Structure 1
Amino acid sequence: MSNTAPPVQKNETVQVTFEDLTHDGAGVAKIDGYPLFVKKALPGETGEVKVIKVKKNYGFGRLISLENESPERTEPPCPIFDRCGGCQLQHLSAAGQNRYKTNLVSSALARIGGMDDVKVHPVLAMDDPWRYRNKAQVPVGFQNGELVAGFYAERSHKIVDMNECLIQHDVNDRLLQTVKQAAKDFGITAYNEETGKGLMRHVVIRHGQATGEKMVILVTNGSKLPQADKLIEKIHAAVDGVTSIVQNINTAKTNVVFGEQTHVLDGKAAIEDKISDIRFHISPRSFYQVNSEQTEVLYDEALKAAGLSGDETVLDVYCGIGTISLFLAQKAKHVYGIEAVPEAVNDAKKNATLNAIDNASFYVGEAETLMPWWRSQGMAPDVIVVDPPRKGCDEALLDAMAAMNPAKIVYVSCNPATLARDMAYLAEKGYRSDAVQPVDMFPQTTHVECVVLLEKTE
């Protein structure tokens, strides 16, 4: 942009045509080349927008009315879609969401990674893109004189009170409403982020979709839970199959959901679930993919990319509770998993035992520290699989992977932007890819997972 003033002013009303969608699902209109980002608008639509924020090189607007609607616009079935920050794309058809996510990956590869020549396959989507989440993690607060529980409004910590969420398994909704009503009936106070007072901070619900086992986690600001026995009774009366009710204590003034101390109020300390033929032991703070159906699709793609014959040594970085590791172990000679969280490694070991898998070993540590030491001891993996958090991989980790000189790196990503950045870095180390396979793990949202095979070039 030039040094001239923006062509719009705050509170001005303008007529615009939307050309594109951003990575977070906002419509993009341009006024004399100046981008204006507007939530809930779709490409091809024209309408009236009120400018609500003006920056030097871009601005934000609020949609007032539409003159021409996109044929891919649909009526969001959720009554709180306009206020809740959980979903961004309920107003876009399933076909439109699939194209958007495929394009999101293509755009990131070209714009961030400079890789116009890498093919992006059409996204692998769900037949029924609703009620897929096996985990609800819901903050509790106090508004207008009563306890509320729901998801945060977008870019805020204001809770939008919720009776049901259409991307949650319906049993999660029933359990959440039961706990919320019981807390009101028993005078359990809600936590206040500003004062640090109040008891109930979060309600977390986990549902084993293959096993039917259910866990309720009450995150509290202190150890004393009034009328806990009555609360447990209400939970069991509302929903069958609740095999674990636990309390997690978090007294820190922080946005982190869980504290370090967890104890069982009723039932078991963990639940089990199955993906394909593999059973998983899931403790309250374990990372476990929230869409069980699409997790099988994702891991099948990772297994296909690894192309294992049974003779390979495989290294799984960010192995968590061993979900990908145990899939790989079915086809590999041996899998070594690395994870920084000790509890997750304990769960991974339990999961290997649970499935009678003896060719998978798990280690606590930072991968960028462990891998150079293993290399000095003669370890030479044929395949490295990496499934990092949204921030992607640090350069030290990418360097450590490349230094081990595997024939293949299988990168599983939940963020196309950091995937593109890391692919470009690994290309400089001699690892290149022909194609990326997106998988829609999170319908109705802007998130998309990807699997990519990077092979060492001569």
Structure 2
Amino acid sequence: MLCKIMDRCGGCHYNHDNYPLSLEGKEKHIRELFPNENIEAIEGEWNPYYYRNKVHDAFAFDGREVIMGKYEEYTKNVLEIDSCLIEDTKAQEINATVKDLAKSFKWSIYDIDTKEGLLRGSLVRVGKSSKEILLVIIVTDSIITSSNNFVKAIKKIHPEITSIVFNINDRDTSMIIGKKDLVAYGDGYIFDELLGLSFRISPQSFYQVNSRMTEKLYKTALKWGDFNEDDTLVDAYCGIGTISLYASQFVKKVLGVESNPQAVKDAIYNSKHNKIKNTYFTAMDAGLYLQDLKANKVKVDGIIVDPARSGLDENAIKGLLDLQAEKIIYISCNPYALKEDLEKLSEKYKVEKMKGFDMFPWTSHVETIALIQKM
């Protein structure tokens, strides 16, 4: 399969016809960045198409018609995309219906230059296991003409949708999602299953976009950690608690920390929902939380960190070096940031082994896991 607009879109960087070659390229990249480390063979997808469970499209108006698609690489132009080889097909269908209904309801389209217009984007989250679907309509104002009729119309076309939310994003920002949600249908969230556990996913929650590879990654992380039932484990940047709840069955307790309050609410809910009683979640900057643990003389046996693309900030590096847990599992979506952070931690830690996971087939991104041990 080949994508006709790959060069303009910029989302993918490998032709969609030779998956083994793309894996070779990503593994080579990791080995070149970390020439002196013990690197295991990269883990690939068994089906590298239509894997994304989260699909976002932006809207624009070209003076004649409504356009829906992705921002063309390095520009503010919305590139019309009829179909994508890496996004869930049902999610793509729903976003296309949003576009058609937006035209029929005569909703104004947000202009990125003038900052005027109502409709900014459409986001669909699909529970790959549960089959539940959350539709998020991103608008600039809570006053939405005929919103009830819109909900009825799209539900008639797509009865598989389990919840619909209007998200208000009136900020002059590149951020996709705003902070305020108006639930128009259903509960405002969906559930999905991962590693035998059930997770509530809200519009603003972080949830890995490739469910199958996430399971492989998390299983490897806990296998490498080799934690025992007397250990206290910290899950920094825990999100909605996915890896915390999975890890809870192997250790005495898990301390999860996340700066996003909504994600922490979901994590607390998810722990109760799964009847897990040895996880404790805090809404706080991860680095400052680690430093507080040291100040309060909390014994920590292991730490899992899964930061954003920018990697660990100074507070997190200081917290990790101060706590001196026996082992750290570092999960990274940016090997360049990982390299910088490992160098900063090298005064007290050494890398035991590393491994790449192709969480984002056909793109240039690769998830990398590193086991680092206290010297």
TM-score by length of 1: 0.80
Please state if 1:441 is matched with 2:359: yes
Correspondent of 1:212 among 128, 131, 134: 131
Q: Whole-Å Cα distance in 1 between the matches of residues 16 and 357 of structure 2?
A: 20
1:424 offset after TM fit, Å? Answer: 1.6
SS in 1 for 2:41: coil
In structure 2, what is the equivalent of residue 39 of structure 1?
none
- Does the CA contact (< 8 Å) of 2:291 and 2:318 recur in 1? no
Q: Whole-Å Cα distance in 1 between the matches of residues 3 and 156 of structure 2?
A: 27
The one-letter code of the counterpart of 1:452 is A
- Does the CA contact (< 8 Å) of 1:282 and 1:288 recur in 2? yes
Correspondent of 2:79 among 157, 160, 182: 160
Please state if 1:359 is matched with 2:278: yes
In structure 2, what is the equivalent of residue 70 of structure 1?
none
Correspondent of 2:254 among 327, 332, 335: 335
Q: Whole-Å Cα distance in 2 between the matches of residues 367 and 443 of structure 1?
A: 29
1:79 offset after TM fit, Å? Answer: 2.8
Q: Whole-Å Cα distance in 1 between the matches of residues 28 and 206 of structure 2?
A: 28
Q: Whole-Å Cα distance in 1 between the matches of residues 50 and 186 of structure 2?
A: 26
SS in 2 for 1:123: strand
- Does the CA contact (< 8 Å) of 2:27 and 2:41 recur in 1? yes
- Does the CA contact (< 8 Å) of 1:86 and 1:152 recur in 2? no
Please state if 1:150 is matched with 2:69: yes
In structure 2, what is the equivalent of residue 245 of structure 1?
164
Correspondent of 1:95 among 10, 17, 20: 20
SS in 2 for 1:121: strand
- Does the CA contact (< 8 Å) of 1:220 and 1:251 recur in 2? yes
Gaps of 5+ in 2: none
The count of corresponding residues between Structure 1 and Structure 2 is: 375
- Does the CA contact (< 8 Å) of 1:135 and 1:290 recur in 2? yes
- Does the CA contact (< 8 Å) of 2:353 and 2:372 recur in 1? no
Which stretch has the larger CA shift, 170-179 or 157-166? Answer: 157-166
Gaps of 5+ in 1: 1-75, 110-115
1:343 offset after TM fit, Å? Answer: 0.8
Residues 4-31 of structure 1, C-alpha deviations (whole Å, 9 max, x = no match): xxxxxxxxxxxxxxxxxxxxxxxxxxxx
In structure 2, what is the equivalent of residue 270 of structure 1?
189
Q: Whole-Å Cα distance in 2 between the matches of residues 441 and 160 of structure 1?
A: 24
The one-letter code of the counterpart of 1:441 is M
Please state if 1:107 is matched with 2:9: no
Q: Kindly indicate which of the two structures has a greater share of residues assigned to helix.
A: 2
Q: Whole-Å Cα distance in 2 between the matches of residues 252 and 311 of structure 1?
A: 47
SS in 2 for 1:336: strand
Please state if 1:292 is matched with 2:246: no
- Does the CA contact (< 8 Å) of 2:109 and 2:117 recur in 1? yes
Correspondent of 2:316 among 397, 409, 416: 397
TM-score by length of 2: 0.97
- Does the CA contact (< 8 Å) of 2:163 and 2:186 recur in 1? yes
SS in 2 for 1:232: helix
RMSD: 1.3
Residues 220-259 of structure 1, C-alpha deviations (whole Å, 9 max, x = no match): 0111222222321232223232111000111122212222
The one-letter code of the counterpart of 1:81 is M
1:123 offset after TM fit, Å? Answer: 1.1
1:386 offset after TM fit, Å? Answer: 0.3
Residues 321-340 of structure 1, C-alpha deviations (whole Å, 9 max, x = no match): 11111111111110001111
In structure 2, what is the equivalent of residue 138 of structure 1?
57
1:162 offset after TM fit, Å? Answer: 1.5
Please state if 1:310 is matched with 2:229: yes
Q: Whole-Å Cα distance in 1 between the matches of residues 260 and 187 of structure 2?
A: 22
Q: Whole-Å Cα distance in 1 between the matches of residues 191 and 81 of structure 2?
A: 28
Q: Whole-Å Cα distance in 1 between the matches of residues 219 and 126 of structure 2?
A: 22
In structure 2, what is the equivalent of residue 37 of structure 1?
none
- Structure 1 or 2, whichever has the larger Rg, is 1
Q: Whole-Å Cα distance in 2 between the matches of residues 163 and 228 of structure 1?
A: 25
Moved over 3 A (4+): none
Q: Whole-Å Cα distance in 1 between the matches of residues 7 and 356 of structure 2?
A: 27
In structure 2, what is the equivalent of residue 78 of structure 1?
3
Correspondent of 1:411 among 330, 355, 366: 330
- Does the CA contact (< 8 Å) of 1:85 and 1:151 recur in 2? no
The one-letter code of the counterpart of 2:87 is Q
Please state if 1:234 is matched with 2:159: no
Q: Whole-Å Cα distance in 2 between the matches of residues 233 and 376 of structure 1?
A: 55
- Does the CA contact (< 8 Å) of 1:132 and 1:168 recur in 2? yes
- Does the CA contact (< 8 Å) of 1:171 and 1:239 recur in 2? no
SS in 2 for 1:223: coil
The one-letter code of the counterpart of 1:100 is G
Using the aligned pairs only, state the percent identity.
35
- Does the CA contact (< 8 Å) of 2:135 and 2:163 recur in 1? yes
Q: Whole-Å Cα distance in 2 between the matches of residues 117 and 377 of structure 1?
A: 37
The one-letter code of the counterpart of 1:446 is S
